[in-house]
Amino acid sequence: MKIIKRNGSEADFDIAKIVNAISKANQAVEEKVRMTPMQIERISESVVLSCEQLGRSPIVEEIQDMVEHQIMAHGAFEVAKAYITYRYTRNLVRQSNTTDDKILSLIELNNEEAKQENSNKNPIVNSTQRDYMAGEVSRDITNRILLPQEIVDAHNEGIIHFHDSDYFAQHMHNCDLVNLEDMLQNGTVITGTLIERPHSFSTACNIATQIIAQVASNQYGGQSISLTHLAPFVQVSREKIRQQVLREIKEMGVEVSIDKISKMVEARLREEIRRGVQTIQYQVVTLLTTNGQAPFVTVFMYLGEAKNEQEKHDLALVIEEMLEQRCQGVKNEKGVWVTPAFPKLVYVLEEDNIRPNAPYYYLTELAAKCTAKRMVPDYISEKIMRRLKIDKNGDGQCYTCMGCRSFLTPYVNEKGEPQYYGRFNQGVVTVNLVDIGLSADKDMQKFWEVFDERMELCHKALQCRHERLSGTVSDVAPILWQYGALARLKKGEKIDKLLHGGYSTISLGYAGLWECVYSMIGKKLTEPEGEAFGLEIMKKLNEYTAKWKQAENIDYSLYGTPLESTTYKFAKCLQKRFGVIKGVTDKGYITNSYHVHVTEDINAFDKLALESKFQALSPGGAISYVEVPNMQNNLEAVMQVIRFIYDNIMYAELNTKSDYCQVCGWDGEIEIQEQDGKLVWTCPQCGNQDQDKMNVARRTCGYIGTQYWNQGRTQEIKERVMHL
């Protein structure tokens, strides 16, 4: 069995250390209240058994909590007091400087928490290490200097989560919708070099990837671009190619019909589109930004954005090529086609593509094929979104998320036009709803009292995020604020006007609605009473964001947090404070946002129908998913789910399996097995457990992850039930 030490490194479990620690505490008290050697041995064995029952690697503090509990269970209260005092004293010594120890463990490649913190960051490479090292320093400064102590304490105790504190010291924002149209049509500047309007589709794609990399290096969240902004350059290339063809025909001195010329032009144009899309696909996957990872980028595919029929036709060509190439995948180091993590694809379902007689239905069929094989695209229902996203002009809008799930609120600019590209999110603070439920101990009046206290704490933390960005000058990230990605501000100009009035959002996140409801009333969200209470909580959360927005002219919005490593952290903190409670804290994870618990037996259609009610109350961002087996030979079932999404829910995805073992060539699902108290990824065909010799792709937070996960998240993945 393995344990996780305080600095994040992994070590072998050693029962002798438990025996030794208890013995030292035992010797520190009077002889008449000491325990016998047999009692110490039994306590140690009980702790070992409890650790084995976790089904994952325990951390040192969890083991120490178990020791305390067992000592007191034996009635040795004086020994327990001595043990607790020793723990407290050692903790004070450690707190004097934890940053150095963490940085050294990163450099020496033995920090298991860092290895599993982000499922798309390889902690071995220098650029990632450099980012993590800088992050530790930033987090240290943030906790000691920049944040109020009550927020730091609440974060450490798992009451709230102050996201991305490793970037907070810098004046950086979270996620955004890149105004690619402005940058391509009007030019931009990258590292001091003027980039003019491109003269071909392939060049436009190349510039787009450079913009993506620059944006990723100047913020810490996801970004989205739209293929619609690239579509006009298809016509630019078409005209350019036509001139080339006409010149060649003239030089050959032959007669060629107009129809033949058009076919030649379109054939060459298709090849141009193929090269351009390939540039995006491969550049995004292979780019390594300054934070040591591929850009968290989403590509939006929405026919309804096209300005005219010709542009829609050209956009369809680009979408088709994007889906075809993504369906093929990328080659791993063995030359085998596998599923890449990026870019994430979002495909809009609309009347022009949802029914068999629609002109672009073939694109939806291709999207279904791609989803079955590569887990993308995800789907937005234009119909449902227009019903939910109403701007002040009374018009329903359809637009992409910023990255994986964060949505802007409807906004009309000074020209009276809806605007989404060029906007961004200031940051996130998430409330642990499970903690509120357990703190109330089934007392409904106390629940709402604690709820109010937590909301004020979150509000104060969100104000810290906003104030950190206030006064930021455009010079800190010229690509964002001066050269069109988000704005065209002057040098030295502050970004403050973009922080108010709805131009940007700031997010109140929430997690663990399922466990919160169950802890209070003993009902699941899938039961009528549980659903009603869950919806009541969601409405209350929205009341708070609306109140803050009204008072401060800042667009607070409710956000279904995509917990990654934090799902494990929250679970550990809850277990420490409240113990192991069946159905609430008996897992190494808590449930993301409003989601139905991963172990719940429910079919895909019922799950989406239920979650659509909660998604409608999460305007700042949310996504629902259904877990499905290999669907490559059952595309009609995929199409049924897609049609259901169009009619019932704004934003959803299908989670399939896409793995490969480099040792034996297995291309089925890589399994998770429990081994020596730890969850280990294992090839079912050859038994390979070397993560460097397998390709595993799983969706965990809207994005696909490929760098593995901590033990809590791995347990959650292992326990997912199929919905189809």
Q: Is 286 exposed, middle or buried (0-12, 13-18, 19+ CB in 10 A)?
A: exposed
In the set 425, 432, 592, 658, the catalytic residue is: 425
Q: Is 564 a catalytic residue?
A: yes
Burial (0-12, 13-18, 19+ Cβ within 10 Å), 412: middle
Q: Is 503 one of the catalytic residues?
A: no
Task: Determine which one of 588, 702, 705, 712 is catalytic.
Answer: 702
Helices (H), 375-512: 382-388, 433-440, 444-469, 478-481
Joined tokens for residue 434: 């499970």
Tokens (6 digits) for 630 = 């290999």
Nearest-angstrom CA–CA distance, 129 and 123: 6
> What single letter denotes the amino acid at residue 568?
Y
- Is 404 known to be catalytic? yes
Question: Is 174 part of the annotated catalytic residue set?
Answer: yes
175 tagged catalytic: yes
Rg value, the chain, Cα: 27
- Nearest CA to 71 among 105, 28, 100? 28
Please identify which of the residues 305, 350, 564, 611 carries the catalytic annotation. Answer: 564
Is 683 labeled as catalytic in the residue annotation?
no
- Tell me which DSSP letter residue 170 carries: S
Query: 3-class DSSP state for residue 123?
Result: coil
Q: Identify the active-site residue in 66, 205, 398, 402.
A: 402
> What DSSP state is assigned to residue 503?
S
Both tokens assigned to 43 = 């306590």
How far apart (Å, rounded) are the C-alpha atoms in residues 467 and 88?
Answer: 35
Considering 105, 118, 119, 174, which one is annotated as catalytic?
174
From the list 175, 301, 455, 683, the catalytic residue is 175
One DSSP character per residue, 391-421 reads -TTS-B-----BTTTB-PPP-B-TTS-B--T
Token pair listed for 355: 């029914």
CB-count burial class (<10 Å; 0-12, 13-18, 19+) for 37: exposed
Nearest to 513 by CA among 402, 624, 428: 624
Residue in 545, 538, 518, 539 with CA at minimum distance from that of residue 529: 518
Strand partners, 117: none
- Measured between alpha carbons, how far apart are the two ends of the chain, in Å? 35
Q: Which of 119, 406, 507, 557 is catalytic?
A: 406
Task: Exactly one of 375, 401, 404, 631 is catalytic; name it.
Answer: 404
Catalytic center residues: 174-175, 402, 404, 406, 425, 559, 564, 702
